């Protein structure tokens, strides 16, 4: 399955450090413009569940999430469902070591029914153009990861 949207950036931090950031659900809101955190419902790992929390202005919603890839220091992917169980999307972080740190690739896969995309999603999230928004969201998240890595490198 090819991602609907894919963006990448090189960061001056090793894959283990970045892995700890993208799997730290309660602090994900520090990196994402829409996600305000989450909490693990199971021990982190393949098949684990977590609940994600999101916000757009005054609108807030939560999602059911299940981890579909958990390759420590390399790949973290999860499927998102609505509170009633409808499939919405898959998000994925791929970490590839480089000479100066790692390359972080964030992928978004649009899955789920057209009813969710056309009606439920815009009503719940306030975003009629989900793909357009997610391009900006991914770029924001990657820039925040890079800024955190650069700040950490400068402090060392």
pLDDT (tens digit per residue) in 47-82? 999 999 999 999 999 999 999 999 999 999 999 998
Structure tokens at 144: 């925040």
Q: In angstroms, what CA-CA distances link 76 with 21, 56, 91? A: 11, 24, 8
Can you identify the CATH homologous superfamily of domain 5-155?
Answer: START domain (3.30.530.20)
Give the predicted TM-score (pTM) of the model.
0.94
Asked if residues 133 and 29 have their Cβ atoms less than 8 Å apart, the reply is no
Listed by start position, the domains of the chain span 5-155
**In whole angstroms, what is the distance from residue 80 CA to residue 61 CA?**
12
Does the pLDDT at position 112 exceed 80? no
pLDDT (tens digit per residue) in 130-151? 999 999 999 999 999 999 999 9
């Amino acid at each position: 399955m090819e991602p609907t949207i894919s963006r990448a950036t090189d960061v001056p931090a090793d894959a283990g450090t970045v892995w700890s950031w993208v799997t730290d659900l309660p602090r994900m809101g520090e990196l994402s413009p829409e996600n305000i955190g989450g909490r693990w419902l199971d021990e982190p790992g393949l098949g684990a569940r977590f609940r994600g929390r999101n916000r757009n202005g005054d609108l807030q919603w939560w999602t059911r999430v299940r981890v579909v890839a958990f390759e420590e220091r390399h790949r973290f992917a999860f499927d998102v469902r609505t509170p009633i169980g409808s499939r919405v999307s898959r998000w994925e972080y791929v970490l590839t070591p480089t000479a100066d740190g790692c390359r972080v690739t964030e992928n978004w896969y649009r899955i789920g029914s057209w009813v969710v995309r056309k009606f439920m999603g815009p009503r719940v999230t306030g975003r009629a153009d989900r793909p357009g928004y997610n391009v900006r969201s991914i770029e924001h998240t990657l820039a925040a990861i890079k800024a955190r890595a650069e700040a950490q490198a400068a402090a060392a």
